[in-house]
Amino acid sequence: MDCLFCKIIKGEIPSTKLYEDELVYAFRDIDPQAPTHFLIVPKEHISSADDLDENHKELIGHIFLVAKKLCAEEGLTKGYRIVNNCKEDGGQTVDHLHFHVLGGRSLNWPPG
Ligand code: 5GP
Ligand code: ZN
C-alpha cells in the first residue's frame, strides 16, 4: 500500500522520531504550526478516525497517554492541543490516522 505514514513508520522515509512502541509511532511534523508540533500515529494502517471500531478503544486511550508523556518531556506545562482531522471536510490530507499535538504558544480557537 502506498501510504506516506506507513513508510515513515517502517523507516523508508526519514522522520524525527520522538517515541515508538508496539502500538504507535510519534514524530515531529515537517511543517510545524507551533513551537512543538508532532504527530502520533498507530502502527496499524487505519485510514481515518471514521474507520475506528470497538477493537481500537485501547489504542486510542494509549495514544492520549503517549501524548501526555511526550508533552511533559517537551516541557508543555501550560497546556497543549490534540487534534484529529477526519476526512475531507475535517481537513485530513494524509489518509493514515494521526493525532496532531501542538503546544509552546497560546493557540487560537475556533479553527477556521
Ligand atoms: P492532516 O492535514 O492530514 O491532518 O495532517 C498531515 C500532517 O502531516 C501535516 O501537518 C503535514 O505537515 C504532515 N506531513 C506531511 N508529510 C510529511 C512528511 O513527509 N514528514 C512529516 N514529518 N510530516 C509530514
Ligand atoms: Zn498507512
Domains within the chain, CATH numbers bracketed:
4-103 (3.30.428.10)
Residue pair 73/67 in contact (Cβ under 8 Å)? The answer is no
Asked if 37 is an active-site residue, the reply is: no
Q: How many CA atoms lie within 13 A of 66 on its CB side?
A: 25
pTM for the complete prediction?
0.98
Query: Distance (Å, rounded) from C-alpha 23 to C-alpha 17?
Result: 14
Grid cell of 50 as nine digits: 471514521
Does 47 sit in the ligand 1 pocket, CB within 6 Å? Answer: no
Residue having the nearest C-alpha atom to atom 20 of ligand 1 = 30
pLDDT tens for the chain, residues 1 to 112? 799 999 999 999 999 999 999 999 999 999 999 999 999 999 999 999 999 999 999 999 999 999 999 999 999 999 999 999 999 999 999 999 999 999 999 999 999 8
Grid cell of 5 as nine digits: 505514514
Report the SS3 class of residue 42.
strand
Q: Which of 37, 96, 98, 100 is catalytic?
A: 98
